Amino acid sequence: MTGTPPSGAPDVLALHRRMLLIRRFEEACAELYAAERIRGFLHLYVGEEAVAVGALDVLDPGDSVVATYREHAHAIARGLEPGAIMAEMIGRAEGCSGGRGGSMHLFDRARGFLGGNAIVGAGLPNAVGVALAQSMREERALTACFFGDGAVAEGAFHESLNLAALWSLPVLFVCENNGYAMGTAIDRALAQTDLAMLASRYGMPAQKVDGMDVRAVRAASAAAVDGIRADGGPAFLECVTYRFRAHSMYDPERYRDRAEVDRWRARDPVLLHERRLREEGLLDDAGAGALAAEAEQAVAAAIAFADAGTLEPVADLYRHVYEER
Amino acid sequence: MSANEDQPSYREAMREALREALREDERVFLMGEDIGRYGGSYAVTLGLLDEFGERRIRDTPLSELTFVGAGIGAAMAGMRPIVEIMTINFSLLALDQIVNTAAVARHMSGGQVGVPVVIRMASGGGRQVAAQHSHSLEAWYAHVPGLSVMAPATVGDARWMLAAALEDPDPVVIVEHSGLYNLRAPLGEPPAPDRAWRAAVLRPGDDLTIVAYGGAVQTALAGAERLAEEGIGAEVLDLRVLRPLDVDAIVEAAARTRRVLVVDEGWRTVGLSAEIAAVVSDRAFYDLDAPVARVCGAEVPMPYAGHLERAAIPQPEDVAAAGHHLVAADG
């Protein structure tokens, strides 16, 4: 899948800003979890920032996004207000899901952000359906669907790739291959670990991408999106990445050793991109400091917004089960 | 049951309802296994492919999880999909999507993302198709907040209920009893809007109320006929909707006739009949002249052999015997 020009030249500083914001946001979430402000399950995206930022940079406002339970980054990259996301984290009515969803279920209908889904693989059929609606209405829109390597073991993965290809539906399948389905290494779960090859067998263009390189992800996504908009049919990206932190805040990480984590940390997507920006003369110490401060301020503002939020009255418990009429 | 071949069948009534929905709303489309070229496993959708084309009458692969999930996704995106699953047994392959996504998306999005999908499935036994095509699992769906469940038991409801389901902004499961498709009766008039989701008295009677739904309604009516022959007046209340349950109608009936017999083809334990008995106990206990009685499906997987299958499904004589006992047990 080469030769298709990207939809436009990337704003490489904007990509960097977004990754920094996500990194700082996730670190703040870990701090708030330790302080028992955020409860429940919390899955952080630290190490995988280049995937969400690179892929979502090429979407149009009219497109839709279906994400996983590790989806703070996708929400931020899709333009949801960090304050509304943080308010959701701490269960406030001002949260992007009104406090009913929490970390794993961020939604924003206006931005086509159709949720974090915490059933592994369950988002894929939904993305196929959203794309079916887009296709039947002959819209130019597409649906980006994020999932991990763990989802590849689910029947829904295979059924969804088959149906999207069979019906030529505009889905961008983005597999975040971080090497582990929770604690099970990919080669202990899948007989075929070349996921791009696997997807290509369903009859769609599929590419393996360095998921630690935001520009590579962005370029591959742009080419895939151009192809989808031209042909209507789906495309598949396998973004090879790594989760630096534990699966969730309950994970003692018995299944991997420190040396492996350190090897991947040497390819930190944020630091890689910063180094490249410096080499290109687009960033210096002062600039880097300013960007870091900007991210810090944005996250502080998000926390302040969340802290100022309100608790939904218990009398409203039964709201949102059915539409209010 | 009427043998009048001039009257429309339950199957034809449902087909006409689908046809009307497809004609009136461009957002409506049908999706399911063999609904197009084959004409539907119960021939409900026969002819619709020719009339509406492949864009709106979509044959799917045997991927229940994904075509139901795709219906949910399309509904989230503003369409009004009607998804057909061959039998309720097969719907278990899609249970994750129905329970974990369709039923909860509105709630976990804080009210933003509704799922106006209609999922049709055939339920029930009586056709000797054994333990993987005959069960009555509708109570599973009726258990779940966020879902609504309809069980059309009459030709009229086969014709008129779908419109109410499609108007609903949230997911609706329609359970059609596979033994009813050849039932013939006049279509009647569409129910008044405020009755669309309510139970209905199909037969008046003063001595007891038989509460039933789906395929068991015909059994209840036949049982009531036998009771009439021995001078017992049995009212038959067709629930029509399993969630939200029309609790008021059940309680009013209990207060009216003072004896309640529940007929449910589903299994007794932790089933709809238990919920109905509990409703009566909660709200009409002091109106009762006798404990609530139940005639339910035998707690076995559905056997193939015809005589055993018949023994496993409530029959009119079982209903009559239970009704007789209930009235005779009067204190």
Nearest-Cα distance to chain A for B47, in Å, is 21
Measured between CA atoms, the residue of chain A closest to residue B103 is A321
DSSP secondary structure letter of residue A44: -
8 A C-beta contact, residue A323 and residue B172: no
From start to end of chain B, where are the E strands? 28-32, 57-59, 80-87, 118-123, 148-150, 172-177, 200-203, 208-212, 234-238, 241-243, 260-267, 293-297
Q: Which two structure tokens, joined as six digits, stand for A113?
A: 């952000």
Q: Is B133 a catalytic residue?
A: yes
Is B2 touching A (CB cutoff 8 A)?
no
Task: For B6-19, write each residue's pLDDT tens digit.
Answer: 999 999 999 999 99
Reported as a pLDDT band with limits 50, 70 and 90, residue A296 is very high
Catalytic residue, candidates B12, B33, B64, B275? B64
Reported as a pLDDT band with limits 50, 70 and 90, residue B268 is very high
Is B122 touching A (CB cutoff 8 A)?
no
Q: For residue B92, which residues of chain A lie inside 8 Å, CB to CB?
A: none
Q: For residue A75, which residues of chain B lie inside 8 Å, CB to CB?
A: none
Q: How far is CA A232 from CA A166, A228, A287, in A?
A: 12, 5, 41
8 A C-beta contact, residue A202 and residue A161: yes
pLDDT above 80: residue B37 = yes
Q: What is the ipTM of this complex?
A: 0.95
Task: For A165-206, write each residue's pLDDT tens digit.
Answer: 999 999 999 999 999 999 999 999 999 999 999 999 999 999
pLDDT above 70: residue A2 = no
What does the pLDDT average to over A289-296? Answer: 98
Is A86 touching B (CB cutoff 8 A)?
no
Q: Which two structure tokens, joined as six digits, stand for A108?
A: 């924003």
Q: What is the pLDDT of residue B331?
A: 47
Is A188 touching B (CB cutoff 8 A)?
no
Q: What is the pLDDT of residue B8?
A: 97
Catalytic residue, candidates B133, B135, B265, B309? B133
Reported as a pLDDT band with limits 50, 70 and 90, residue A68 is very high
Is A161 touching B (CB cutoff 8 A)?
no
Nearest to B12 by CA among B167, B180, B251: B180
Reported as a pLDDT band with limits 50, 70 and 90, residue A251 is confident
Q: Choose among A114, A129, A319: nearest Cβ to B111.
A: A319
Cα-Cα-Cα-Cα dihedral sign, residues B147, B148, B152, B158 = negative
Reported as a pLDDT band with limits 50, 70 and 90, residue B330 is low
Task: For A31-42, write each residue's pLDDT tens digit.
Answer: 999 999 999 999
Q: What is the pLDDT of residue A7?
A: 62
Reported as a pLDDT band with limits 50, 70 and 90, residue A250 is confident
Which helix (H) or strand (E) segment holds residue A197: the answer is helix A195-200
Task: For A70-126, write each residue's pLDDT tens digit.
Answer: 999 999 999 999 999 999 999 999 999 999 999 999 999 999 999 999 999 999 999
CATH 3.50.50.60 assigned to A12-23+42-79+107-248+257-285: no
DSSP, collapsed to helix, strand or coil, labels residue B82 as strand
Task: For B81-137, write each residue's pLDDT tens digit.
Answer: 999 999 999 999 999 999 999 999 999 999 999 999 999 999 999 999 999 999 999
Q: What is the pLDDT of residue A274?
A: 98
The residues that bridge with A184 in the sheet, in sequence order, are: A181
Q: For the domain with range B10-194, which CATH number is right: 3.90.1200.10, 3.30.360.10, 1.10.510.10, 3.40.50.970?
A: 3.40.50.970
**Cβ B76–A105 below 8 Å, yes or no?**
no
**Cβ A320–B60 below 8 Å, yes or no?**
no
**Cβ B79–A132 below 8 Å, yes or no?**
yes
CATH 3.40.50.920 assigned to B198-328: yes
Reported as a pLDDT band with limits 50, 70 and 90, residue A5 is very low
pLDDT above 50: residue A19 = yes
Is B107 touching A (CB cutoff 8 A)?
yes
> CB pairs below 8 Å between A and B: how many?
143
Name the pTM for this structure.
0.96
Q: What is the pLDDT of residue B5?
A: 83
**Cβ B112–A108 below 8 Å, yes or no?**
yes
Q: Choose among B100, B111, B145: nearest Cβ to A122.
A: B100
**Cβ B113–A129 below 8 Å, yes or no?**
no
Neighbour count for residue B2 (Cβ, 10 Å): 11
Q: Where are the domains of chain B?
A: 10-194, 198-328
Q: Choose among A64, A131, A162: nearest Cβ to B61.
A: A162
pLDDT above 60: residue B206 = yes
Is A150 touching B (CB cutoff 8 A)?
no
Is B36 touching A (CB cutoff 8 A)?
no
Q: Is B20 a catalytic residue?
A: no
Nearest to B191 by CA among B158, B213, B236, B220: B158
Q: What is the pLDDT of residue B155?
A: 97
What does the pLDDT average to over B186-197? Answer: 93
Q: For residue A155, which residues of chain B lie inside 8 Å, CB to CB?
A: 65
Q: What is the pLDDT of residue A299?
A: 98
